[in-house]
Structure 1
């Protein structure tokens, strides 16, 4: 067996093991203990110890297992010896009780069958109730203890049933929610295709809107440059222009009679002095009209500011 575990030469193995323990930290005593334990274990089942490499890790694990196995073996041996001793004591006590019963004529062979049956039933009940004598008080105490345990078991059973009902209700709700979620998932899966089509449409519209935005920005820049080129300012708003147009119409109405009069003068025979006076008069009227128009424009611009 040692040849199988350690190799063909035990002395060579011992020397190699010693050298390896010096270099790699092996414990020769621990290795020998592990070898002895492996040999005993495999010999017990009639098998040879398989070959394997002795490494620090394997030796440490095997030594740990061997120590634990030996401790459990010793504990089981102690328990087994105790059980054997108790069995011997029970057998001797049974023999003594049998001798006493036979001496008083109460041997099992001489008893009626119904008495034997009753004794067996009484023994089974005693074993069931875990009593060691046949006293009525012991039976009553055992029955009371059994009743208490029965009550406790019933209470636990009722509690477990209540918890089972609660869990069943939770399970039903969870199943209902799961069904609802599955139905919702199915609806969402059905809505995927229309939503994707709608998204594609939105993407197309977005691209068109971005193109329009760039176009409008270009047009805005062009028109802004045109307005800057013609001298447009924010003070010239639509309201100001409308007001100026209304004043222009009023001035045209006022100057129309004057223009008609001037046109009538064109049909008169030429009179240089009168024509000069008329022209000077119309120039004054025209200058007054221009000044009035300028005042109106200035007041309109001032009110817009």
Structure 2
């Protein structure tokens, strides 16, 4: 994972001398061309799906396999355009996908090539792994050096970074075929996120509770008649199934006689569902705490 200001994940810096907010269409085409060259080293369809998954995560979208190679190409283009709305996340997705391939012995663009594309299109970032920085701040020359004390990340920013790292870990586990562990990691994120609602006021009533089920029950009560109530109902049902020994068995162990084995398809489904719920709950949390 690249290191940069955590707030950029939600609101990238505004444009100035350079394009900082979004990746322009002409740059997306250049990155797409690089992917096309990378794909000559293996199964093209698989490679398109690999990058589609990376950009889907950056865009906060669930990743579903395309029905054909041509559709995979079209779907990749669409999800790249979505991810491009946040330049730092787009660059992180492309870089980390390339690093994953390089670790497998394949050629993939490095930081120098990515920086060349950014300079060509006036994109305001410089990649010096693992740091992604603004070109404006990196190239500013001062006549007298001034010591700048960096603001330490807030507790909220640290928490969001922890959740993001855990989701990335879940995706890695899925890729490696560790299905139960991948689902378990995503479920941990869902349970942890629920605690962020504790103490928030909804319709004049305060959400209370210590553990997931208590908080979810309380949240449903205070959000009665809203979409949030319905989503919490779905989340609670999924949480209960995955926790049960006769269901997914990822929290309390699996009933060896009646438990359900989680295969690759089921694991991908459960993880995608939880990612969708996590994205919605994060947005609701931001809205409610205002």
**Structure with larger RCO (C-alpha < 8 A, sep 6+):** 2
Which is strand-richer, 1 or 2?
2
TM over 0.5: no
Which is helix-richer, 1 or 2?
1
Larger Rg: 1
For normalisation by structure 2, the TM-score amounts to 0.19
